[in-house]
Amino acid sequence: MVDSLPFAKQLDQFERYLRSERNASPHTITNYRRDLKKLQDYCQQQGIERLEDITPSDIRLCLGQLHRQGLSGSSLQRWLSSSRSFFTFASRKYGLQLNPASGIRAPKSPQKLPKTLDADQTQQYLEISTDDWIDCRDRAMVELFYSSGLRLAELVGLDLAHIDMGEGSARVLGKGRKERLVPIGRFALKALQDWLKRRREIPLSDHQALFVSKRGNRISPRTVQQRLQKLSLEQGMDGKVHPHMLRHSFASHLLESSGDLRAVQELLGHANISTTQVYTHLDFQHLAKVYDKAHPRAQKRKTK
């Protein structure tokens, strides 16, 4: 027999379990609370008072209701995940026999293509003056983002020892703590050389970090984002440029020039090639123009 505690009390116990046994962050607990409140509201609307009375049909109906209210596919997936976790907890704590959210899938959101800079916009953005050491550092960071397709966390995590100036490469620690070797282009190498000379001017607290702040500590991700946004204004860009936009631009431009999807996957550190394939959609119009111009069966017949 399932414990007869009210739903709100069961949620309180689940929250305590997340905090004490799962060591979940306050942000994660807030998300669980928000998601399960939606389930609680649905049950109240339907007059469902006991956990064992919630069926897979109820989960699908609630999912459909949330979808009509405008929740995205990722939000619906998170709601389902929260519900599954709660029912798994309830099976152990209260003896619930069935997890009604098991096996149910959320509708997918339409895939959003990443925003990129074209070649001219990239050139405009990279023309950074190097009047002082901060500008010199910022230029080196921006050039490295675009040259090597780094993630924000990968760039701020770089140490001096990770850079091989002679070989023109960087050892990067990516997602899942997987290490990969990426090439550094000549413009980025020159920007790094200039930065390393100016770096000596700063009283350092962190002697290992490649990029440091005014205080001499390893630069923070938030500071990098703020500096790139400031550069967006100074360089007269149409919108804000962020680190991932430079990574996307690197991937798109490289794929457009080479057509080698596997090489781009390797350079980006993607575990699955399906993640890299999003960039093929970005270049479709360009490829279509090339096809129309080059393929003998695609060329328009000249009128006499």
List active site positions. Answer: 151, 175, 244, 247, 270, 279
d(CA 241, CA 227): 10
Rounded Cα–Cα distance for residues 279 and 175 (Å) = 19
Q: Using CB atoms within 10 A of its CB, is residue 265 exposed (0-12), middle (13-18) or buried (19+)? A: buried
SS3 226: helix
Q: Are 96 and 87 in contact (CB under 8 A)?
A: yes
Radius of gyration from C-alpha coordinates of the chain: 26
Q: How far apart are CA 93 and CA 78, in angstroms?
A: 22
Query: How far from 283 is each of 52, 79, 118, 253, 279, CA to CA, in Å?
Result: 51, 34, 11, 9, 7
d(CA 142, CA 219): 14
Contact 10, 91 (CB under 8 A): no
